[in-house]
Structure 1
Amino acid sequence: MKTPQNFDVLIIGGGLAGLCNAIHLSKFGKKVLLIEKNDYPKHKVCGEYISNEVLPYLAFLDVNPFDFGAIKIDEFQLSTTNNKLISAKLPLGGFGISRFTLDEVLAKKAIENDAKILQDTVVNINFKKDVFYIETKENQQFTSKIVIGAFGKRSLLDVKMERDFIQKKSPYLGVKIHVKGNFPSNLVALHNFKGGYCGVSNVENNTINLCYITNFSSFKEYKNIDDFQENVVFKNSFLKEMFQKSTPLFEQPLSISQISFETKKPVENHLIMCGDAAGMIHPLCGNGMSMAIQSAQIASKLILNYLNDENASRSYLEKEYIRQWNQAFKWRLKAGHFIARLFRNHRIANFLLQILRKLPFLIPVIIQQTHGKPIKI
């Protein structure tokens, strides 16, 4: 029987959280293996807007998104189902960059730092005597002191671990497309329609990202995506104009189903969960990418302390990660859930918008409830 390869840290999932962990840990000389089922580059269903709060941390990782075409964004626009519009300045600002580009940039930086990236799928995880034993679909075996779960919104590993949220129905569907058209480069817009909302913002190469989320029960009443858009999405006049006056760059829109916003645990079966695997904020809040990146910073700093201290305990590592994760994100998630719940009721949403149009200074205050301050290094 072949002896398993050993690593200091093994990361399952190569999205933003997984890649940032790989860069951070390998930067300090740790032997890191990241296992990702897909290759790079790859498009993903994602809003592709990132709050500027992560820029200090990305600089620490030696990654400057503006070197790769990221677009600066400082204006926000919101419309409700009755086509009323309100605009405001973003309190901190952000930038737009596609996952196609950003994930590939981060993967190259991880490899440059001597992290190993393996295209494979983890099928089994065992934890015995303070060591993880990992098996993959391609019959490869590994051991590691630490395993980071960064496998996204919903994974077969979630099912295997019988995580609480996976037992509940996930009623949301996400759809994304890139287009060419006219849209202010410094603007991110959120347009509501019955049963959902669509984010619009620019990414690199003069490309516009259109990404919407809807309740699956609303979607299944129609024959296909085109039919749904024509009869539901386009009731919002801003979205109708955006879709009809632009040129699609994908042959078919990308979609993802069974999106869950249920509460998750930041540590599960001794795995340190990062990004969407630890908790997912409603896309309405536009801060999921920033949270994924910041969760990697929290995890990596604690893991480095644990690996470098012979007297460190796993129990302390796990408790401290849960504490810091909750401190950074628990309020944001609650605020995001509450805001999304209000906007699901279009009558309430329209009433709120009337208030915000009269008191526009409240918009930055609301946005700040789901965003953080620039990350301290």
Structure 2
Amino acid sequence: MQEEVLILGGGVAGCAAAIALAQKGRSVTLIERERTPRHKVCGEFLSGEALEDLHALGIDVVSLGAVPINYVRLAAAQRAAEAPLPFPAKSLTRKALDKALISRAIAVGVRVELGRSVQSLNRTAASTWQVTLEDGSIREAPTVFLATGKHDLRGHARPKDPHRWVAFKMYYRLSPAQADDLGDASELTLYSGGYGGIQPVEDGITNFCCVVQRRYFERAGLRWEGLIANMQKDCPHLAMRLAGAQPLLDKPIAITHIPYGYLRRTTEDSLYCIGDQAAVIPSFTGDGISVALHTARCAAAAYLARESSSVFQPKLRSAMLPQMRLAQAAANGLNNALARAVLPFFLRVWPGAMQVTARLTRVTQPAALAP
């Protein structure tokens, strides 16, 4: 089958690009390996930029149950510091958001194929892209958007993660007292092998998402029970937060090999890489969803303006490089023992530092990206 545009991956980036193109009258087919939206390892933080992008796509997050996030809180050991966020923010589970995005894509005319796994993506002699699915069926198109998220497609892999990060996600129902104390804050907790984020989402549930280095997980016997116990030992504030909490999943969702700090330099002709296939910002910034939406919007605009992918991709990289470098530097600081020890005290003296960092690590729409 010959398509105009094929989008591989039906997460935030893939759906956002599909909707943006379909709204401009383009014929788009989106292929997603999952049959239905599911929970994913994600902090589920929606920054002001993400909210603006979702509104432009026709997504009303308030109607989906999104809850306001007005504060950022940093906790290490028994110390914690808090500051108001310098922009509006909300929180919504990825399952709810992905479901809404898929529905919106269908509503604007995107042909959506769910439960279809892509086996290969190859360039043909006729200068088109050929996609082979798990059942042997083939799709062809002159243009492909690669939006497979944290999962690499064979033949189009990103560099290996040198730090061997492992990410986990668990939903909890906190005790009434701890839910009140957490309030409308996104809380970052620090420990010797990584960091975690905890914040409320819809229906009175709390999302806890963490990333740890492989060696820290190994010291816990490669078991979640040992890992969460060690994290609470390293950060008593987290232990306090989870006291009396009820886990809502049988086991945590996990993912490995996350190349934090990755920024794609180049791409092949007519292959636009978006979302985590374009840039992987450290999780603590809470900007992952914003990056997905931002890269999708920019790539769709470039395609509509007939800007080649080989021009677009390095331009996107250059525009995002300052924010990514700052975010990576801050992430490295969070993994420094001395920084973890003094940071909460410093932030209590100057809570504005959290606001400044939050602003500077946002991914915006630079004028340099205009085709």
Q: Compute the TM-score of the two structures, normalised by the length of structure 1.
A: 0.90
Q: Give the aligned partner of residue 250 of structure 2.
A: 251
Bigger proportion of residues as strand:
1
Equivalents in 2 of 1:61, 1:42: separation in Å? 21
Residue 242 of structure 1 and its aligned partner are, at CA, apart by 2.3
Tell me which residue corresponds to 1:171.
Answer: 164
**What's 2:294 paired with?**
294
Equivalent of 2:324 in 325, 333, 341:
333
Name the counterpart of 2:17.
Answer: 21
- Alignment partner for residue 135 of structure 1, among 132, 135, 145? 132
Kept after mapping to 2: 8 A contact 1:56/1:374: no
Q: Deviations over 1:149-184 (max 9, x none)?
A: 111123243xx2354x13x54511111111112154
Residue identity in the other structure for 1:73: I
* Structure 2 Cα separation of the partners of residues 266 and 295 of structure 1: 14
**8 Å contact kept, 2:264–2:313:** no
Picking from 191, 205, 208, the partner of 1:207 is 205
CA displacement at 1:42 relative to structure 2: 0.2
Task: Return 129-138 or 98-107, whichever deviates more.
Answer: 129-138
Deviations 1:305-324 (A, max 9, x none): 22xxxxxx63xx43134314
2:302 and 2:241 mapped to 1: Cα distance? 45
User: Which range moves more in the overlay, 16-25 or 252-261?
Assistant: 252-261
Per-residue deviation at 1:372?
Answer: 3.8
Matches within 5 A, 1:118-267: 118=113, 119-128=115-124, 129-157=126-154, 160-161=155-156, 163=158, 165-166=159-160, 169-181=162-174, 182-183=179-180, 184-223=182-221, 224-265=223-264, 267=266
Moved more, 266-275 or 142-151: 266-275
Flag as ranges the 4+ runs of structure 1 deviating above 6 A. 374-377
Matched residue, 1:46 = 42
Query: 5+ residue gaps in structure 2?
Result: none
Instruction: State the percentage of identical aligned residues.
Output: 24
SS at match of 1:296: helix
Per-residue CA distance 1:179-233 (angstroms, 9 max, x = gap): 1121544211001111111101111111110111111111112231101211333
Deviations 1:74-95 (A, max 9, x none): 1110012x32110001111311
Q: Secondary structure at the match of 1:76?
A: strand
Distance apart, 1:237 and its partner CA: 1.6
Label 1:39 to 1:84 Cα distance change in 2 as closer, same or farther (>3 A): same
Distance in 1, matches of 2:231 and 2:100, equals 37
Q: Is the Cα contact below 8 Å between 1:24 and 1:297 reproduced in 2?
A: yes
Residue in 2 that maps onto 1:275: 275
| Structure 2 counterpart of 1:110, from 105, 112, 132 | 105
Secondary structure of the corresponding residue to residue 117 of structure 1: strand
- Structure 1: how far apart are the matches of 2:363 and 2:50? 9
Work out whether residues 37 and 95 of structure 2, in 8 Å CA contact, stay in contact via their aligned partners in 1.
Answer: yes
SS of equivalent to 2:84 = strand
Aligned equivalents of 2:196, 2:316: Cα separation in 1: 31
Work out the CA distance in 1 between the residues paired with 2:51 and 2:262.
27
**2:91 aligned with 1:96:** yes
Distance in 2, matches of 1:221 and 1:301, equals 47
Q: 1:350 aligns with which of 341, 346, 351?
A: 341
Of residues 58, 67, 89 in structure 2, which corresponds to 1:71?
A: 67
Counterpart amino acid of residue 221 in structure 1: R
In the other structure, the counterpart of 1:83 is 78
CA–CA separation in structure 2 for the residues paired with 1:106 and 1:246: 31
Asked if structure 2 preserves the Cα contact closer than 8 Å seen for 1:266 and 1:272, the reply is: no
SS of the residue corresponding to residue 263 of structure 1 reads coil
User: 2:246 corresponds to which letter in structure 1?
Assistant: T
Question: Secondary structure of the equivalent of 2:212?
Answer: strand
The partner residue of 1:60 within 50, 56, 67 is: 56
Q: Take 1:234 and 1:20, find their aligned partners in 2: how far apart are those partners?
A: 40
For the aligned residues, what is the CA RMSD?
Answer: 2.0
User: How far apart in 2 are the matches of 1:77 and 1:262?
Assistant: 23
| 1:72 to 1:232, Cα distance in 2 relative to 1, 3 A | closer
| Contact 1:40/1:103 (<8 A) preserved | no
**2:82 counterpart SS class:** strand
Alignment size in residue pairs:
359
Kept in 1: contact 2:287–2:363 (CA 8 A): no
